[in-house]
């Protein structure tokens, strides 16, 4: 797993949806999601690969659901016409953090899955995403959130799921063009500017995003600029639990302790985490 990129993308969308309390889940519990278009043999093979019991709770994910949550942000070709990718989610101890591992997934990265879970407020889990052959992995992305809704007996508002997916896709797509580091720097500086100087109008927001992009060295296309303006406008309407966000970030820091021991990454990652945690403190007064 590419920890650095995972960290960056997880931090980008961590703040949208309040934390989810898994009322019916206990540490060690497993939840499995299976793509609807798997054959029966493929399902059995994947369950064996996941090493789960025969009575494990299983949730089916459909291709229609993939299009429902990602269709506005990803092309139909990228989503595909079949739901194949599947997951095993193991509930962890409180404050244990989030770990993601993939097998045969070639488009959705570990970072994207971590991003989606953290956005939903779920961080204490081990996630294994797999498929019988190489697939994009979008069914798993949709399935993870669906599984937690079922397990926790809650309903995450649809508009919050959409905003979480939209931020993830926009950041990843921008990162594909300009590099993950620059995309991350842009998003964090926009948030910092909004925390320090909240804007009153959409025109002010547009000007702020354009100015920050120029400072970072990114020449946004008109489509990218419009997309970011729309995204940040939607964020203002979300019910954000900033204390939960800070807690999630601290859990990310704790879960990276082994990685942080590497001398070449220790300083930069700690600085990033410390920056985000201090930024969240400032953002708690934003959009009140």
Q: What is the mean pLDDT of residues 126-153?
A: 83
pLDDT at position 10: 45
Domain boundary assignment for the chain: 3-155, 160-283
Based on the number of CB atoms within 10 Å of its own CB, is 223 exposed (0-12), middle (13-18) or buried (19 or more)? exposed
Specify the residue for token string 């962890």. Answer: 92
Residue 128 has pLDDT above 70, yes or no: yes
pLDDT in tens, 213-260: 999 999 999 999 999 999 888 877 765 454 454 455 455 545 544 444
Rounded-to-integer distance, Cα 193 and Cα 35, Å: 42
pLDDT at position 275: 63
Rounded-to-integer distance, Cα 217 and Cα 189, Å: 12
Other residues' Cβ atoms within 10 Å of the Cβ of residue 20:
20
Residue 15 has pLDDT above 70, yes or no: no
Rounded-to-integer distance, Cα 132 and Cα 286, Å: 45
Mean pLDDT over each residue of the chain, to the nearest integer: 76
Residue bearing the bigger pLDDT, 43 or 112: 43
Q: What is the pTM of this model?
A: 0.61
Residue 13 has which token pair?
Answer: 């969308």
Q: What is the mean pLDDT of residues 137-144?
A: 79
Rounded-to-integer distance, Cα 89 and Cα 108, Å: 17
90 strand-pairing partners:
30, 126
Q: What is the mean pLDDT of residues 9-29?
A: 53
- Reduce the DSSP state of residue 19 to 3 states and report it: coil
User: Which of 36-45, 99-108, 178-187 has the lowest average pLDDT?
Assistant: 178-187
Rounded-to-integer distance, Cα 177 and Cα 182, Å: 10
Instruction: Please report which confidence band the pLDDT of residue 287 belongs to, taking 50, 70 and 90 as the band edges.
Output: low
Cite the beta strand spans of the chain per DSSP E.
Answer: 30-35, 57-61, 86-91, 98-102, 125-130
- Reduce the DSSP state of residue 35 to 3 states and report it: strand
Residue 112 has pLDDT above 80, yes or no: no
* Category of 51 on φ-ψ map: left (φ > 0), alpha (ψ -120 to 50) or beta: left
Pairing state between β 57-61 and 125-130: unpaired
pLDDT at position 3: 41
pLDDT in tens, 157-211: 787 778 777 777 787 788 889 987 788 678 778 877 877 778 889 999 999 999 9
Residue 283 has which token pair?
Answer: 């953002």
Residue bearing the bigger pLDDT, 203 or 15: 203
Other residues' Cβ atoms within 10 Å of the Cβ of residue 241:
17
């Amino acid at each position: 797993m590419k920890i650095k990129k995972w960290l960056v993308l997880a931090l980008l969308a961590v703040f949208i949806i309040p934390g989810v309390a898994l009322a019916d889940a206990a540490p060690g519990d497993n939840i499995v999601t299976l793509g609807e278009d798997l054959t029966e043999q493929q399902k059995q093979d994947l369950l064996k690969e996941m090493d789960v019991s025969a009575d494990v709770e299983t949730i089916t994910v459909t291709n229609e659901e993939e299009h429902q949550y990602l269709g506005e942000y990803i092309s139909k070709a990228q989503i595909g016409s079949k739901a194949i990718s599947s997951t095993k989610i193991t509930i962890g101890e409180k404050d244990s953090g989030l770990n993601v591992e993939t097998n045969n997934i070639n488009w959705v990265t570990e970072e994207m899955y971590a991003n989606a879970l953290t956005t939903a407020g779920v961080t204490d889990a081990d996630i294994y995403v797999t498929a019988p052959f190489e697939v994009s992995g979008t069914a798993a992305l949709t399935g993870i959130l669906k599984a937690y809704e079922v397990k926790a007996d809650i309903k995450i508002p649809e508009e919050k799921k959409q905003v979480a997916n939209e931020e993830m896709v926009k950041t990843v797509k921008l990162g594909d063009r300009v590099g993950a580091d620059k995309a991350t720097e842009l998003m964090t500086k926009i948030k910092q500017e909004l925390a320090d100087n909240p804007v009153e109008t959409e025109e002010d927001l547009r000007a702020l995003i354009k100015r920050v992009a120029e400072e970072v060295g990114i020449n946004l296309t008109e489509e990218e600029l419009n997309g970011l303006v729309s995204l940040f406008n939607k964020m203002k309407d979300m019910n954000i639990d900033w204390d939960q966000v800070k807690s999630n970030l601290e859990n990310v820091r704790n879960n990276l302790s082994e990685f942080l021991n590497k001398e070449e990454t220790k300083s930069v990652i700690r600085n990033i985490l410390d920056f985000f945690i201090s930024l969240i403190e400032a953002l708690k007064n934003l959009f009140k």
